[in-house]
Amino acid sequence: MDEAGRGPVIGPLVVAGVAVESDVELRHMNVRDSKKLSPERREALAPEIEKVSTYEVIVIPAERIDVMRSEMSLNDFEAKLFAEVIDKLRPETAYVDAADVDEIEFKRCVRKELAFDVEIVSQHNADELFPVVSAASILAKVCRDRQMRTIEDEIGMHIGSGYASDADTIAFLETWIRTHGSLPPHTRASWDTARRLLAEARNHKLDDFGRRTA
């Protein structure tokens, strides 16, 4: 189990699970943490992973993330999503990339969402330690990248990666807010970055109005 897109201000969170009887074929593919592979390599590996595994991928849009964040922490929400995929795959052992700083707490949160017994191995950097988690990280990342390209085509503007650390993403948000007075589609309105940019734009308009009427 792994995810892609936990932190971005734009775009979905994608959770993927990969189930195999043996990870020998995944090792032969030399699967690695998706962040350490080029987009081209990830795209090439994804269909090969799908051929040798049973897999599940869940796409959670920004709007649902905002709703769930009003009810629970992002860690708890991610634990629910991991459990949802585990429930569909029904493995004997589930290796999960721990979202919580406390690996044991994340394991507990996932387990309490499950109605059947399964051994859960919850570790930080599991996508570097276990080929099956590396494979899940690749499927999640490939799916999210495709989702971002679809969003960009829909909006008709370059939006970057969707991460707040991406200057292109921030420039897009600032331009959209300045033009439309609201956040663009597929933006996580509950994120601090979105709130800050919206507040800054509104304050700027008030300052402009004040100068014009002074």
pLDDT tier, 101 (very low <50, low <70, confident <90, very high otherwise): very high
pLDDT tier, 212 (very low <50, low <70, confident <90, very high otherwise): low
pLDDT tier, 202 (very low <50, low <70, confident <90, very high otherwise): confident
75 pLDDT more than 50? yes
User: 157-213 architecture in CATH?
Assistant: Orthogonal Bundle (1.10)
169-172 — which CB contacts under 8 Å span 24+ positions? 169/8, 169/9, 169/10, 170/197, 172/10
Please state, for a pLDDT cut of 90, what percent of the chain lies above it: 91
pLDDT tier, 203 (very low <50, low <70, confident <90, very high otherwise): confident
93, two tokens? 């052992």
pLDDT of residue 209: 43
Please state, for a pLDDT cut of 70, what percent of the chain lies above it: 95
Query: Is 2-152 CATH 3.30.420.10?
Result: yes
How do residues 79-90 score in pLDDT, each as one tens digit? 999 999 999 999
Average pLDDT along the chain: 94
- Domain ranges across the chain: 2-152, 157-213
pLDDT of residue 76: 96
Farthest-apart Cα atoms in the chain, separation: 73
What sign has the CA pseudo-torsion 63, 67, 73, 78? negative
How do residues 128-179 score in pLDDT, each as one tens digit? 999 999 999 999 999 999 999 999 999 999 999 999 999 999 999 999 999 9
Helices (H), 37-190: 39-51, 62-69, 74-89, 103-111, 126-129, 131-155, 167-180
How do residues 22-56 score in pLDDT, each as one tens digit? 999 999 999 998 989 999 999 999 999 999 999 99
Average pLDDT over residues 178-182: 93
pLDDT of residue 210: 45
Alpha carbon 117 to chain centroid, angstroms: 27
Average pLDDT over residues 113-121: 96
5 pLDDT more than 70? yes
